[in-house]
Structure 1
């Protein structure tokens, strides 16, 4: 069976499950709410992971999230822990704000802090500001 077409996802109203393939299901509740669920089985253990509301995410996003979940399980990682870990990692700009706040007491004057911040805003934030700190590597 192939992937669910977007029209089927949008128009489905009968409560139950519609299989999209590779362990991804569209769950339709009696209240007509729809959500995506990924089912993964490894070493005799089966787990279900919610991957989003059908009203809030496009059809491609649950497929990508399900692929990511399957990859984590194959590597022996816990998808729930990995998702929480990824959400908890700040962007470079967020981390910089925390460091500047912590260093504020050590600078001789406010001008010094302003110089640091302007340098970062000019040269670093345009390239790395919205990148999660865990994704930044050397060079």
Structure 2
């Protein structure tokens, strides 16, 4: 029997772990405390595996079904969905670590050791003022430092018409 959104909303924890199947290996898991999450049971290379799709209500029934289908497509291509999810998460974490903003703050911490607190705050304010928010998430590995400077910082300074920049 396929689950309905009303059924999922009304189900609560009763002191025991509960599993309510939706078909195709997808089921709603309810902890004894009442926390709900979508899970997918599948077999890969002859072993039983489990993929946690996400918590309910952050992941709706419709979205859970879509993610089940995506996982099934990966299985057809002989790719383990759990490994694919783990790798995607690692790529996202690595991308966040290499953003222009993160590297700029690392630079500030590294070189501000011998600066006074006032000077460090002055430089930090300038970085916040001249490095626009959209550029903060640009991947620094994709662009060399000179390009980041020319694309994001220099135009802000030129807008202010107070630039004496060495090339």
Give unmatched runs, 5+ long, in structure 1.
119-139
Identify which range, 24-33 or 8-17, moves more after superposition: 8-17
Identify which of 48, 51, 59 aligns with 1:49: 51
Is 1:99 the counterpart of 2:142? The answer is yes
Question: How far does the alpha carbon of each residue in 1:37-73 deviate from its partner, in whole angstroms, 9 at most, with x for none?
Answer: 1011245321111111113211112111111122212
Counterpart secondary structure, 1:37: strand
- Normalised by the size of structure 2, how large is the TM-score? 0.54
Identify which range, 75-84 or 25-34, moves more after superposition: 75-84
Question: How far does the alpha carbon of each residue in 1:108-133 deviate from its partner, in whole angstroms, 9 at most, with x for none?
Answer: xxxx7555459xxxxxxxxxxxxxxx
Partner of 1:84: 86
1:25 and 1:113 map into 2 onto residues whose CA distance is: 47
Q: Label 1:29 to 1:113 Cα distance change in 2 as closer, same or farther (>3 A).
A: closer
Counterpart secondary structure, 2:142: helix
Q: What value does the CA root-mean-square deviation take over the aligned residues?
A: 2.8
Larger radius of gyration: 2
1:113 and 1:74 map into 2 onto residues whose CA distance is: 42
How many residue pairs match? The answer is: 109
Counting only pairs closer than 5 Å after superposition, residues 4-83 of structure 1 correspond to structure 2 as 4-13=3-12, 14=14, 15-42=17-44, 44-83=46-85
User: Per-residue deviation at 1:86?
Assistant: 2.8
Give unmatched runs, 5+ long, in structure 2.
97-134, 154-167
Partner of 1:136: none
- Normalised by the size of structure 1, how large is the TM-score? 0.63
Runs of 4+ in 1 over 6 A off after TM superposition: none
Q: Label 1:5 to 1:95 Cα distance change in 2 as closer, same or farther (>3 A).
A: same
Identify which range, 7-16 or 23-32, moves more after superposition: 7-16
